[in-house]
Structure 1
Amino acid sequence: MTRTRADPARHSAFDLAEGFYLAHALLALEHNGVLRSLARPATAAALAKKHHVHAGLLQSALELLAARTNLITCHADRFRLAGAYDDHARFVVHQYLGAYGPAAIALGRTLRKPELAAALIDRKQHAKAFEDSPTLSSDLITDLIVQLGFNDVLDLGCGNGALLSGLTRRMTEFRGFGLDGNPAMCALARRRLKATPDASRVRIFRGDSRRPDTALPASVKRQVRTLSAASLANEFFGSGNREAERWLARLKAAFPGRTLLIGDYYGQLGYGRRLRSRALAVHDFAQAISGQGVPPPDLASWKTIYRNAQCTLVHVVEDEDATFFVHLLKL
């Protein structure tokens, strides 16, 4: 998610149709491996032969993408990825088209049966989105843990392992654990930590971050002194605040008296608020259609959740736009 300011322009019906076709064309090329091959100039015919796809359809898709996006260029009938297809562009494609695109396409069904939404997330695409993209929430938590000298950290929803890897690099004698339910994310975290010096004291577990009390061995739970949750809590608002409150209550019961750092963001869609940024609105919508819900829009709302779960808010850190935050709690 980026801090793109709200754009006053409105899309026309034709803009929507064009964008729909462009998005599907780009995602199809990603799924078929064609985008990776566009790191070097190539003709549509050569790409079609290499990837066993229809040459005419591929030519049409590439021509449209080259003419109407800044992501693909064409010179002398040879196509290649443009510089604009950078790490951020890849993140957007994998996250919002790849991971959450199926939920958008199925919105007609989930409007009537919202309980189907969670199963529509493409977890492999979600993992790809974060291969090289740490979240701002993770960075904020990492900085705070280093400043306060916390250790024996359990990172809930550890994702690509960036937080644990960063702490290992910045703290001597760091010890930590990661827990994530997505096997692709766990594999990504283990690869990252394998490439991180002195990471032998960090272990990754596959399990439900909603219920770490049952997902982790008792010996691990006894060692944990600090818990972190970067961009995890926002998943618990598909049916109001109840699930978030239950999650916190379970953490308090399993890890009484421990410190919990929640790094997340204040939502905007669904709360009758002015849209602060295009990126935030798109992310909120992805949250909504995937069954995760949109997190509360302000500190006061989060304080109510903490109070209901009988957790004590000790400290608050917010970015300059008061969009992203870290809340330090005592369980």
Structure 2
Amino acid sequence: MPAPTDKLFTYTEGYFLTKSLLALWRLGLLGDADISIDPDKVAADLGCDARLLRATLDYLIIRDVFVKDDGGLYRLSEHGRELAPYYGYLPMHVGAYEPIFGRYEEVLRGDLVYGRNLRRAEHELVGGMSAMEEHLLAHLTGLMDQMSFTGVLDLGCGSGRMLSQVLRRGPDLRGVGVDQAEQACEKARHNLAAEGLAGRTTILHGDASRLTELPAEVLEQVDLVIAMFVMHEIHWQRSREGVISCLRSIADVIGADGRFLMVEVSRIAAEKPRPGLRFIPEYQLVHEYSHQRLATEQEWRDMLGEAGLQVLRTEPAGMCEAFCFVIGAQTTT
């Protein structure tokens, strides 16, 4: 049985390890599994303190993330290279919420209120999500191999990478993206234009939960709707009835034969300790503090049912404990 101090130091180790890796990510030193770091050169290029950069890398040698070769260059260890595809979790899961949890007590006291005088760092969220998208998109596009559709609507389209992946599947496919962040819309338009897809896409600055306010003509061909980690935001902002209203609008858009792909993480109950459970407790906590609320898979099924939709299949989404519902209209017998 580990001593209490050993357990406590495990917590502090996680803190310093995460902060060190996140700092290197922000400096652009974790994006390449084959990176080779000369601390003096990197410090000069980036305007860092070479001594402190070396101290960070030495600490990460002890924690088995980096090794130092005979020439004094720092490279990712075998363990560090295994982690390389997943470093995007650091800004997405930690960096984006530092503005909140860096002032934890003030938020708890109500001195700072999310949405009024406090926000998460959206650029960290977008940067981390973009780094992780390859894993997620591969799973979702694999599901689409078994579907027939002519137009796709991406709710919360972000950078437009999902639309790009979908539209590359056929020259006749058309796409619509909706995002409430104008900056994200501009980036999506730029990215899709760079890939020669602007003529087949419409990017709208708007509220994904209010589809009835979108121009009806842009939704006419849509028979596939995608919502990746969007519905839990609507769950908080619009309440359960607001979610059901949004789902009814989606049902109207896809019609009797269309499909809705919904990616979410299931809420867990705080009834007992859950040793070994990764990601979800922390994910659930940061979402409560940023005015987003998870629901259980059964709660989602119930809300979908009330909206006239049903889950046809459930698949792992390729990101931690996220799942994907393949959803269609309810059938009558």
TM range (shorter): 0.7 to 0.9
**Equivalent AA in structure 2 for residue 18 of structure 1:** E
Name the CA distance, whole Å, in 2 between partners of 1:104 and 1:178.
31
Tell me the CA shift for residue 67 of structure 1: 2.0
Q: Which runs of 5+ in 1 are unaligned?
A: 1-9
**Equivalent AA in structure 2 for residue 106 of structure 1:** R
Identify which of 303, 308, 313 aligns with 1:311.
308
1:191–1:272 Cα change, 3 Å: farther
Tell me the CA shift for residue 249 of structure 1: 4.5
1:102–1:164 Cα change, 3 Å: same
Tell me the CA shift for residue 242 of structure 1: 4.3
1:238–1:162 Cα change, 3 Å: same
**Equivalent AA in structure 1 for residue 97 of structure 2:** Y
Question: Which structure would you say has the larger RCO, counting Cα contacts within 8 Å and 6 or more residues apart?
Answer: 1
Q: Secondary structure at the match of 1:12?
A: helix
1:65–1:184 Cα change, 3 Å: farther
Identify which of 41, 56, 60 aligns with 1:46.
41
Q: Which moved more, 1:279-288 or 1:18-27?
A: 279-288
Tell me the CA shift for residue 42 of structure 1: 0.2
Residue 73, structure 1, aligned to residue 67, structure 2: yes
Tell me the CA shift for residue 194 of structure 1: 4.2
Aligned to 2:95: 98
Name the CA distance, whole Å, in 2 between partners of 1:47 and 1:137.
32
Aligned to 2:9: 14
Residue 111, structure 1, aligned to residue 136, structure 2: no
Name the CA distance, whole Å, in 2 between partners of 1:307 and 1:87.
40
1:102–1:73 Cα change, 3 Å: farther
1:145–1:18 Cα change, 3 Å: closer
Tell me the CA shift for residue 157 of structure 1: 1.4
Aligned to 1:292: 292
Q: Normalising to structure 1: TM-score of the pair?
A: 0.76
Tell me the CA shift for residue 316 of structure 1: 2.9
* Matched positions, count: 315
**Equivalent AA in structure 1 for residue 200 of structure 2:** R
Tell me the CA shift for residue 132 of structure 1: 4.2
Q: Secondary structure at the match of 1:130?
A: helix
* Per-residue deviation, residues 63-118 of structure 1 (Å, max 9, x unmatched): 22232241x33335433444625552321222122223333333333334495179
1:144–1:66 Cα change, 3 Å: closer
1:133–1:241 Cα change, 3 Å: same
Name the CA distance, whole Å, in 1 between partners of 2:185 and 2:201.
13
Tell me the CA shift for residue 174 of structure 1: 0.8
1:141–1:52 Cα change, 3 Å: closer
Tell me the CA shift for residue 149 of structure 1: 0.9
* Per-residue deviation, residues 184-217 of structure 1 (Å, max 9, x unmatched): 5445544553454666312333332222333x43
Q: Secondary structure at the match of 2:9?
A: helix
Aligned to 2:126: 127
Tell me the CA shift for residue 251 of structure 1: 4.5
Name the CA distance, whole Å, in 1 between partners of 2:295 and 2:134.
16
Name the CA distance, whole Å, in 2 between partners of 1:129 and 1:322.
17
Contact 2:160 2:188 survives alignment (8 Å)? yes
Residue 62, structure 1, aligned to residue 40, structure 2: no
Name the CA distance, whole Å, in 1 between partners of 2:9 and 2:276.
25
Contact 2:114 2:289 survives alignment (8 Å)? no
Q: Which moved more, 1:92-101 or 1:270-279?
A: 270-279
Tell me the CA shift for residue 218 of structure 1: 4.0
Name the CA distance, whole Å, in 1 between partners of 2:275 and 2:326.
23
Name the CA distance, whole Å, in 2 between partners of 1:295 and 1:137.
20
Name the CA distance, whole Å, in 1 between partners of 2:182 and 2:241.
27
1:262–1:287 Cα change, 3 Å: farther
Q: Normalising to structure 2: TM-score of the pair?
A: 0.76
**Equivalent AA in structure 1 for residue 228 of structure 2:** A
Name the CA distance, whole Å, in 2 between partners of 1:288 and 1:322.
18
Tell me the CA shift for residue 156 of structure 1: 0.8
Aligned to 1:26: 21
Contact 1:131 1:188 survives alignment (8 Å)? no
Q: Percent identity?
A: 23
Name the CA distance, whole Å, in 1 between partners of 2:321 and 2:24.
37
Name the CA distance, whole Å, in 2 between partners of 1:94 and 1:288.
18
Q: Secondary structure at the match of 1:158?
A: coil
1:322–1:289 Cα change, 3 Å: closer
Equivalence map 1:202-241=2 (5 Å): 202-214=201-213, 216-238=214-236, 241=240
Q: Which runs of 5+ in 2 are unaligned?
A: none
Contact 1:169 1:196 survives alignment (8 Å)? no
Identify which of 296, 299, 302 aligns with 2:300.
302
**Equivalent AA in structure 2 for residue 148 of structure 1:** M
CA RMSD after TM alignment? 3.8
Tell me the CA shift for residue 20 of structure 1: 1.6
Name the CA distance, whole Å, in 2 between partners of 1:228 and 1:289.
25
1:88–1:269 Cα change, 3 Å: farther
